A and B are shown apart, each in its own frame.
Chain A
């Protein structure tokens, strides 16, 4: 599947008609068939050693998240501590991939995780709505990287997308990409607002062509957030983009994934669409908070053979 050199799908400067043509070449999506494929793969029975592998992998893929108006340095420091050591009673439980916070909270996260291998991702560009002038959104992103975030989760302009101004959506992403230096860029599509799977597929291709390192489903502030249906479509877009350009783009579903069982279903979908090469936190993350404890619960169930209670897992 990999090609030796990376090919740019759209030559710069990009024009509106080039984008129209590029998006026109994206295949349509049949949502009933997607839903059936997702339902089929949900019947995979993941047991014993393969379940243990999946749980370990899922923990290492979590972007442990808090994005509330009421977040404080104390809250974020405690979250970051849990991110490094999810289970104080079990040192075999690995750290998660990253913590995900608002830009103002970045320094507090950095203070705890620096040197641990856990990344600091910041949502930026006037998250979650993105409804602010470009300069404001870029300033937001720069502030986050200046504070020490090494990953930026930006939001696309859904209004522009739905109104057909795909060039604007593209140029916004390019501008953010350029403003964040070497930080890794996740582009949030807000699939719940894009509504159709055709839009999700097109927005995915657009975001990747504009330089996304990861495409992400949702802000988690709009329902529906992540679903396995949109995830499958985004995986297929990533596959096509890789075939076209040779570039690897990762994927992150975020919001609404609370159960370990559900997380494992996402991993099945990943494995049976993109293959084992994508089973790494470099290419797949879960944007989640309560999921982590359910993963820990399932690890203990496998080990002890008895069902667990919330009391035995720290909230943070």
Chain B
């Protein structure tokens, strides 16, 4: 070797904070409910304050809708359906949805910042994934509104009526789009209940629908917590219930509508297996596994929370995984360089802590990279549990946080057996260069979505939904229209 350049000390190149300004966002100090095309005070008189989980600072006061409020919203939706929406030609419904999509694109940055403030997810994600995906969903379903006769040969497409939709806090705008877009495209009207910790983007979206000229009552928002959701689901004026959330609540909903004529779709929890074979493209598999569980702080129903490693590559893979975790940037969600943001609420943080403590007490080996976590706010470092067995609770229960359980397998059949050995069945991942093995595994995995050599890919054209206790019904794609159409079952 030649004489080296005079040795300079290693550059400690840490990125300066690059914080997105919140100047373009204006949050009303107090907001009501969106019913029949305008913001109205709730009859219940109960309110709650939504906070920024990264700082615990209050953001604004919102209403907690009671039964009377829900009733008003459902009546408004019914009236709009009967007098305006159901009979509107599909091409006109389509154009409303295209307008909404365009407005979402125009105001995407504003909505992304609001989403990050209210929910804690990194601005980079809200900006580059959540908002573009939400707009794309409206575009996609807008285009189906006047083509329904081509979607399912042999049926006369007609709407169901009023859809009562309850969505979670992990992807507020995207979950709103997944529910509202197909419902409106097919001629239904909507009463939406956003999650109690993330009401702000839904309320801003309601105002956006007015900007788009959407007729009054077609889209309504009732904010609140579990009781509001239960009231909406139970309301006799609701023809169709759509719920995304925990399996426990999903079961209660299914019970509560049993015997009624209400149609229901449920998108519930998961405990997805992420299978990596010895011939996987290893570095990309590491990336995929990391993305699969740490994307969105692990607040993802389809998170790849059980890593099933072919035993022959376990040590090498885990070493790469640990090195990769060391590079994850946990911190201020408004910093554009943050990879992992805040846990959504104190309640969720407590749940994660409890399950991790249990995991340790069961004998799992916990590993976490060194993390500088802020003082205020709700934070949890990315966490690995090594040496996990199927019989460990940490391998069975959905944590809904940045916690990955690592297990091994020997053969494809054993991988399938372990992957399917759960009441859940939402998603699965497979890494191998062998095409035939991908297809063989995909055939046998009891999961509604199988990702091969990738993970957490979503597209409005691609159906998403679970097997078994991860729920039923599909969102996305042609199949995503079925839950909102009459005459199909």
* Contact residues in A for B124 (Cβ distance below 8 Å): 43
Known interface pairs A27-B283, A45-B18. Does A277 touch B10 (Cβ–Cβ under 8 Å)?
Answer: yes
Tell me, yes or no, whether A153 is within 8 Å of chain B by CB.
no
Could you mark each residue 409-445 of chain B with 1 if its beta carbon is under 8 Å from any beta carbon of chain A, else 0? 0000000000000000000000001000000000000
Are the C-beta atoms of A184 and B5 separated by less than 8 Å?
A: no
The answer, among A34, A36, A44, A277, for a CB contact under 8 Å with B337, is A44
Tell me, yes or no, whether B282 is within 8 Å of chain A by CB.
yes
Closest residue of chain A to B455 (Cβ to Cβ) is A33
How far does the alpha carbon of A282 sit from the alpha carbon of B5 in the complex, in Å? 7
Are the C-beta atoms of A54 and B284 separated by less than 8 Å?
A: no
Known interface pairs A27-B283, A30-B284, A33-B281. Does A54 touch B5 (Cβ–Cβ under 8 Å)?
Answer: no
How far does the alpha carbon of A36 sit from the alpha carbon of B281 in the complex, in Å? 14
Are the C-beta atoms of A45 and B336 separated by less than 8 Å?
A: yes
Are the C-beta atoms of A119 and B5 separated by less than 8 Å?
A: yes
Are the C-beta atoms of A33 and B453 separated by less than 8 Å?
A: yes
The answer, among B6, B10, B453, for a CB contact under 8 Å with A117, is B6
Could you mark each residue 31-46 of chain A with 1 if its beta carbon is under 8 Å from any beta carbon of chain B, else 0? 0111011000001111
Tell me, yes or no, whether B391 is within 8 Å of chain A by CB.
no
How far does the alpha carbon of A45 sit from the alpha carbon of B15 in the complex, in Å? 8
* Contact residues in A for B12 (Cβ distance below 8 Å): 276
* Contact residues in A for B282 (Cβ distance below 8 Å): 27
How far does the alpha carbon of A213 sit from the alpha carbon of B2 in the complex, in Å? 10
Closest residue of chain A to B278 (Cβ to Cβ) is A27
How far does the alpha carbon of A272 sit from the alpha carbon of B337 in the complex, in Å? 12
Closest residue of chain B to A232 (Cβ to Cβ) is B283
Tell me, yes or no, whether A47 is within 8 Å of chain B by CB.
yes
Chain A contacts with B in 85-125, Cβ cutoff 8 A = 97, 117, 119
Tell me, yes or no, whether B4 is within 8 Å of chain A by CB.
yes
Known interface pairs A28-B281, A119-B5, A183-B2. Does A57 touch B11 (Cβ–Cβ under 8 Å)?
Answer: yes
How far does the alpha carbon of A54 sit from the alpha carbon of B467 in the complex, in Å? 49
The answer, among B6, B8, B287, for a CB contact under 8 Å with A37, is B287
Are the C-beta atoms of A33 and B16 separated by less than 8 Å?
A: no
Are the C-beta atoms of A236 and B283 separated by less than 8 Å?
A: yes
Closest residue of chain A to B323 (Cβ to Cβ) is A1
Tell me, yes or no, whether A49 is within 8 Å of chain B by CB.
yes
How far does the alpha carbon of A90 sit from the alpha carbon of B10 in the complex, in Å? 24
* Contact residues in B for A43 (Cβ distance below 8 Å): 124, 128, 336
The answer, among A37, A50, A117, for a CB contact under 8 Å with B5, is A117
- A241 vs chain B, min Cβ distance (A): 13
A27, A37, A236, A272 pick with most chain B CB within 10 angstroms: A27
- B429 vs chain A, min Cβ distance (A): 12
How far does the alpha carbon of A45 sit from the alpha carbon of B21 in the complex, in Å? 14
Tell me, yes or no, whether B288 is within 8 Å of chain A by CB.
yes
* Contact residues in B for A44 (Cβ distance below 8 Å): 15, 336-337
* Contact residues in B for A280 (Cβ distance below 8 Å): 8, 10-11
Are the C-beta atoms of B11 and A28 separated by less than 8 Å?
A: no
Tell me, yes or no, whether B26 is within 8 Å of chain A by CB.
no
**Selected A-B contacts with CB under 8 Å, 16 pairs:** A29-B283, A33-B288, A33-B454, A43-B124, A43-B336, A45-B337, A47-B18, A117-B5, A119-B2, A182-B1, A213-B1, A276-B12, A277-B10, A280-B8, A281-B5, A282-B5
Top 9 closest pairs, chain A to chain B, by CB: A45-B18, A33-B284, A27-B282, A45-B336, A150-B2, A30-B281, A50-B16, A48-B16, A30-B284
Measured CB to CB, the residues of A under 8 A from B are 1, 27-30, 32-34, 36-37, 43-51, 53-54, 57, 60, 97, 117, 119, 150-151, 182-184, 213, 236, 243, 267, 271-272, 276-277, 279-282
Other A-B pairs beyond A53-B11, A54-B13, 16, CB < 8 Å: A1-B323, A27-B282, A29-B283, A30-B281, A30-B454, A33-B281, A33-B288, A44-B337, A46-B18, A47-B17, A50-B16, A51-B16, A57-B11, A117-B5, A213-B1, A279-B13
